[in-house]
Structure 1
Amino acid sequence: MKLWEKEYKVEDVIETFTVGNDRELDIVLAKYDVQGSLAHAKMLEHIGILNREELASIEAILNELLQEIDTGQFEIESEFEDVHSKVEFVLTKKLGEAGKKIHTGRSRNDQILVDMHLFLKEEINSIKALTKVLFDELIQLSEKYKDEILPGYTHLQVAMPSSFGLWFGAYAESLVEDIHVLNAAYKVVDQNPLGSGAGYGSSFPLDRTMTTALLGFSTLKYNSVAAQMNRGKSEKVTAYGLATLGGTLSKMAMDVCLYMSQNFGFISFPDELTTGSSIMPHKKNPDVFELIRAKCNKIQALPYELSLITNNLPSGYHRDYQLLKESLLPAIDGLKSCLEMAVFMFRQIIVKKDFLHDPKYDYMYSVEEVNKEVQNGLPFRDAYKKVGKNISAGNYKPQRKIKHTHEGSIGNLCSEEIKLKFKKAFEE
């Protein structure tokens, strides 16, 4: 069944190519399509298109469909083009004339917009919740290991003293910016497009304010053309949110891969959380974090991919938009799995404490020596030269006692302030 079916039959090859994998992807959106239909039916009764009995019967069938979706029994068979046609077919088959009225005043264009907006709202909140779990774990680790020194690097050269507390806390605070970007994406999708129809409104006296309230949107996407132009934009801005968070996870995963290697040896994980080599019996590979890095790097390409699909399209609907789901839905699942695995792994991380005796780490205390000379009255540039000459002459002896007190330093992680910052962003 097609909602646009006419007296002629489309060639099978055309149908196969144009439908693509919409049926599989639309299973994910089915719940939201039914929710949109419930709100639309209530609004149609409110403006006199449906009577109370018709509304009651439509609501009953739609609630049955929601139950089927919830239990995994809902299917979109091959005779249906998409979820919209399947839902309307069920209503028409069971209710006859009343079921045929459900499409009054709407188009598949605003249906898919509603579905995507509702879906993205829920998924963004789900990703935020998983991010909070990771944030809490990182902050806890930051406090637990705040006194454990870790070499800091610039240009991949040993640079200055850092700490595990500073390292864990850095990624925790980085997640705050990622939440801000996700919040921005949420604001874009938290607008009701229902009633924009094919992009140019309707001659029916639709009550779009009513459906906005029924569907839990904070506002209405007022202009019908603007509502349709949100197709592509809403997916792309969500992709930026995913990519920003993916960038944090990818960088973090790279650090873990480096720090696990024998050349660094700062951290490890239980054997059962690593993988081995088919030829080298000594190997304990960080495959989980390598895959997090790769998956998140792939996600960082998503905004560009969606931009290329939608760039330079004129206003109005175009079938190009169908392809957005193929990239966005798997990316959302992939990012959620990366967040879950990161938390799982960090809960079992082993922080090592016996590596600082290696002479190569002696030079990370050189700035401490410079600062000590400055505190004793020597101008900074002179102190810098003095310590540099001692290093060149082989007279440098590191003083490993460190006292950092300013906000955000080794000795003052500001964990409570970071937690408050995250809380404010999370609750926006």
Structure 2
Amino acid sequence: MKLWDKGYKTEEKVDHFTVGDDREYDLVLAKYDVIASMAHAEMLAKVGLISKEESNALVKALHEIEKSIEKGAFTIGQEFEDMHSQIEFLLTQKLGDTGKKIHTARSRNDQVLVAMQLYLKDELKAVKMLTAELFDELLGLAEKYKNVLLPGYTHLQVAMPSSFALWLGAYAESLIDDLYMINAATAVCDQNPLGSAAGYGSSFPIDREHTTKALGFQTLKYNVVAAQMGRGKVEKYTAFGLAGIAGTLGKMAMDVCLYMSQNFDFISFPKELTTGSSIMPHKKNPDVFELIRGKCNKLQALPNTLTMLTTNLPSGYHRELQLCKELIVPAIQEMKSCLEMMTFSMKEMQVNTNILDDPKYDYLFSVDTLNQMVIEGTPFREAYQIMGQAIEAGEFKPVKDATHTHTGSIGNPAIEEIRLKMKQLLAH
């Protein structure tokens, strides 16, 4: 069954090529198509296009379909092109002609738009909560190890003293930046496109404000052409939000892999969280973090992929917009799994508390030693030259007890301030 069926059969090869894996992704979106259909049925009765009795019957039948989706019993048969045709068939099978009325004043275009945007709103909220969980874990670890120092690097050369509080707190605060992007993507998705039909509205006297309120959208996408142009755009903005988090997670995963190596030996994990080698019995490999790194690199490429898919399309609907589903749906699931695994793994991190006992890290304190000379009256440039000469001559004696007091330093990592910033973000 096709919603556009005009009495002739499409070539089977064309059918297979145009539908592709759409049914698989529609199983994810079907719940949202049903929710939107309920609001649409109620609106049709409100404006007098169907009776109240017909609307009630449609809503009741849609609730039954929704329950079957929740139980995992809903399927899309090969004879159906998509979730929309399957759902309309079930309604018609149960309600007869009343079921056929559900498509009044709608197009598959605005059906897909509204289902996708409802789905993205829910998934962005889930990603946000998983990110907040990782944030809490990182700040908890920062608090636990706030007095443990570790080397800071520039150009991968020993640079200045850092700490676990700074390292972990840096990634926590970076996640706040990423959630600003997630909030922006959510705002773009939170505009009701239902009623735009095929992209040019409808001659039926529909009430778009009613469905906006019923579906919990913040606002309406007023211009129907603009609503249609949102197809691909909401997915791309979501992808930018995901890519931000992926960038933070990928960088952190790289740090973990580096810090776990024997050459660094800053942190370790229980053997249960590592994997082995088929020929080297001593190996404990950081496969979890390497895969997070790789998956997050793929996710950072997603905005460009969606941009290339949609960049040269004029206004109006085009079939390649269907391909957005197969990009964004798996990406969201990948992002959630990376967040969950990073949080799960970081809970088990074990810290080497004596890293800076190694004399190769003495040079970390050259700046603190130099600064102490300045405090005692030596001009900075002169102190810098004296320090450089002492290092070259092998006469450098580090001052390791210098205090850092400014906000965001090793002596004052501002953990509670960062926590408050996240709390304020989550409140909006």
Tell whether the structures are fold-level matches, with TM greater than 0.5. yes
Query: Residue 391 of structure 2 corresponds to which residue in structure 1?
Result: 391
DSSP 3-state at the match of 1:231:
coil
DSSP 3-state at the match of 1:385:
helix
> What CA distance in whole angstroms lies between the structure 2 residues aligned with 1:276 and 1:307?
40
Runs of 4+ in 1 over 4 A off after TM superposition: none
1:215 aligns to 2:212 (yes or no): no
Query: Residue 129 of structure 1 corresponds to which residue in structure 2?
Result: 129
DSSP 3-state at the match of 1:50:
coil
Q: What CA deviation, in whole Å up to 9, does each residue of 1:199-231 have, x standing for no partner?
A: 000000110000000000000000000000000
> What CA distance in whole angstroms lies between the structure 2 residues aligned with 1:180 and 1:56?
41
Q: What CA deviation, in whole Å up to 9, does each residue of 1:343-396 have, x standing for no partner?
A: 111111000123322221111010011100010111111111111100001111
> What CA distance in whole angstroms lies between the structure 2 residues aligned with 1:165 and 1:52?
62
Query: Residue 250 of structure 1 corresponds to which residue in structure 2?
Result: 250
Q: What CA deviation, in whole Å up to 9, does each residue of 1:261-286 have, x standing for no partner?
A: 01100000001110011111111100
Query: Residue 9 of structure 1 corresponds to which residue in structure 2?
Result: 9
TM-fit CA distance, 1:397: 1.4
Question: What amino acid is the match of 1:199?
Answer: G
Query: Residue 79 of structure 1 corresponds to which residue in structure 2?
Result: 79
> What CA distance in whole angstroms lies between the structure 2 residues aligned with 1:22 and 1:370?
64
Query: Residue 111 of structure 1 corresponds to which residue in structure 2?
Result: 111
DSSP 3-state at the match of 1:151:
strand
1:291 aligns to 2:291 (yes or no): yes
> What CA distance in whole angstroms lies between the structure 1 residues aligned with 2:75 and 2:18?
19
> What CA distance in whole angstroms lies between the structure 1 residues aligned with 2:67 and 2:75?
12
> What CA distance in whole angstroms lies between the structure 1 residues aligned with 2:196 and 2:342?
41
Contact 2:149/2:355 (<8 A) preserved:
no
DSSP 3-state at the match of 1:152:
strand
> What CA distance in whole angstroms lies between the structure 2 residues aligned with 1:297 and 1:201?
40
> What CA distance in whole angstroms lies between the structure 1 residues aligned with 2:115 and 2:340?
26
Question: What amino acid is the match of 2:113?
Answer: L
TM-fit CA distance, 1:93: 1.1
> What CA distance in whole angstroms lies between the structure 2 residues aligned with 1:129 and 1:394?
52
Question: What amino acid is the match of 1:255?
Answer: D
> What CA distance in whole angstroms lies between the structure 2 residues aligned with 1:220 and 1:327?
26
Question: What amino acid is the match of 2:357?
Answer: H
TM-fit CA distance, 1:243: 0.2
DSSP 3-state at the match of 1:301:
helix
Question: What amino acid is the match of 1:193?
Answer: P
> What CA distance in whole angstroms lies between the structure 1 residues aligned with 2:402 and 2:214?
59
DSSP 3-state at the match of 1:161:
strand
TM-fit CA distance, 1:133: 0.3
> What CA distance in whole angstroms lies between the structure 2 residues aligned with 1:118 and 1:305?
22
1:187 aligns to 2:202 (yes or no): no
DSSP 3-state at the match of 2:28:
helix
TM-fit CA distance, 1:60: 1.1
> For 1:23-42, what aligned pairs fall within 5 Å after superposition?
23-42=23-42
Query: Residue 424 of structure 1 corresponds to which residue in structure 2?
Result: 424
TM-fit CA distance, 1:399: 2.1
TM-fit CA distance, 1:7: 1.6
DSSP 3-state at the match of 1:211:
helix
Query: Residue 157 of structure 1 corresponds to which residue in structure 2?
Result: 157
Contact 2:106/2:195 (<8 A) preserved:
yes
DSSP 3-state at the match of 1:395:
coil
TM-fit CA distance, 1:423: 1.2
> What CA distance in whole angstroms lies between the structure 2 residues aligned with 1:321 and 1:427?
34
Query: Residue 415 of structure 1 corresponds to which residue in structure 2?
Result: 415
Aligned length: 428
Gaps spanning 5+ residues in structure 2: where? Answer: none
Question: What amino acid is the match of 1:112?
Answer: V
> For 1:360-379, what aligned pairs fall within 5 Å after superposition?
360-379=360-379
1:278 aligns to 2:266 (yes or no): no
Question: What amino acid is the match of 1:266?
Answer: F
Query: Residue 261 of structure 1 corresponds to which residue in structure 2?
Result: 261
> What CA distance in whole angstroms lies between the structure 1 residues aligned with 2:298 and 2:216?
32
TM-fit CA distance, 1:64: 0.3
Q: What CA deviation, in whole Å up to 9, does each residue of 1:305-350 have, x standing for no partner?
A: 0000000100000001111111111110001000000111111100
Query: Residue 170 of structure 2 corresponds to which residue in structure 1?
Result: 170
Query: Residue 227 of structure 1 corresponds to which residue in structure 2?
Result: 227
TM-fit CA distance, 1:416: 1.2
Query: Residue 358 of structure 2 corresponds to which residue in structure 1?
Result: 358
Q: What CA deviation, in whole Å up to 9, does each residue of 1:214-269 have, x standing for no partner?
A: 00000000000000000011000000000001000000000000000011000000
TM-score by length of 2: 0.99
